[in-house]
């Protein structure tokens, strides 16, 4: 084994340990605002001790309440507002599409401080989105990342059609192309297949992150995919 390989392995093995030390020293939080605190300092009312499977169940149960019009609207009081102003400890993270019809806190019936949400057209795992999700999991203690795509996604549809678009919109379509290509030849609705394939591609991107992969190996994180039905509000798992 070369010296470079030994250094890489050591770096990955010690990633969580070194990061935890940095958090304790305030290195990661110093440049991100003094209102961010380490997970162990967050309120005991947050779901910081649940497992990744528990976190997934909490999301799906909340979505079931939303679909059945039995929302509890938890953690949306003024007392909760004051509580999370002191620090955040979200139990799950969402990489969702920027589509205005799919607001995560509403469709999963959650409240202030419950979810760490990143939204971008096509729910793509850019470097910036990945970095944000790494922070949400490693620093804030989120136990789950759900990549949430949805029915009739306009960004995916534009990619399928090879639309000519101005500005930086094309960068979104380029990131979606691998999913579209993977879905070619599948039976069924072309757009739905591409939307679901795109979700799986973005999950693979996230799992290639050394930070996230180490958390997964330590059973501190799970990454899954969800597909939102615009007509019913139902989220179904695709991974």
Distance CA 148, CA 128 (A): 17
* DSSP annotation string for 13-58: HTHHHHHHHHHHHTHHHHTT-TT---GGGS-TTS-TT--HHHHHHH
* Angle at CA of residue 101, ends 99 and 105, nearest 5°: 100
**Per residue in 168-218, pLDDT tens?**
999 999 999 999 999 999 999 999 999 999 999 999 999 999 999 999 999
110 burial class (0-12, 13-18, 19+ CB within 10 angstroms)? buried
pTM score above 0.75: yes
The two beta strands, 222-228 and 235-237, are antiparallel
- CA nearest 116: which of 101, 100, 149, 138? 138
Q: Are 58 and 50 in contact (CB under 8 A)?
A: yes
For residue 230, CA distances in Å to 55, 150, 192 come to 23, 7, 12
Cα distance between residue 175 and residue 159, in whole Å: 9
Over residues 79-128, the pLDDT tens digits come to: 999 999 999 999 999 999 999 999 999 999 999 999 999 999 999 999 99
Give me the domains of the chain, ranges plus CATH numbers: 3-237 (3.40.1050.10)
């Amino acid at each position: 084994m070369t010296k470079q390989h030994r250094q890489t392995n050591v770096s990955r093995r010690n990633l969580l340990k070194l990061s935890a030390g940095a958090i304790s020293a305030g290195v990661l939080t110093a440049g991100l605002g003094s209102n961010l605190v380490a997970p162990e300092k967050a309120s005991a009312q947050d779901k910081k001790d649940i497992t990744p499977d528990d976190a997934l169940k909490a999301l799906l149960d909340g979505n079931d309440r939303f679909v059945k019009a039995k929302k509890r609207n938890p953690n949306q009081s003024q007392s909760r507002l004051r509580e999370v102003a002191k620090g955040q400890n979200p139990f799950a993270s969402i990489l969702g599409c920027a589509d205005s019809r799919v607001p995560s806190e509403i469709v999963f019936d959650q409240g202030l401080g419950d979810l760490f949400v990143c939204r971008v057209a096509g729910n793509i795992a850019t470097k910036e989105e990945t970095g944000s999700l790494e922070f949400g999991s490693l620093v804030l203690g989120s136990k789950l990342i759900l990549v949430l795509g949805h029915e009739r996604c306009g960004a995916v549809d534009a990619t399928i059609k090879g639309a000519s678009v101005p500005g930086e919109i094309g960068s979104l379509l380029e990131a979606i192309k691998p999913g579209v290509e993977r879905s070619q030849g599948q039976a069924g609705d072309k757009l739905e297949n591409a939307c679901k394939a795109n979700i799986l591609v973005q999950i693979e991107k996230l799992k290639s992150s050394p930070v996230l992969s180490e958390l997964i190996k330590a059973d501190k994180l799970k990454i899954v995919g969800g597909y939102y039905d615009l007509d019913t509000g139902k989220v179904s798992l695709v991974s």
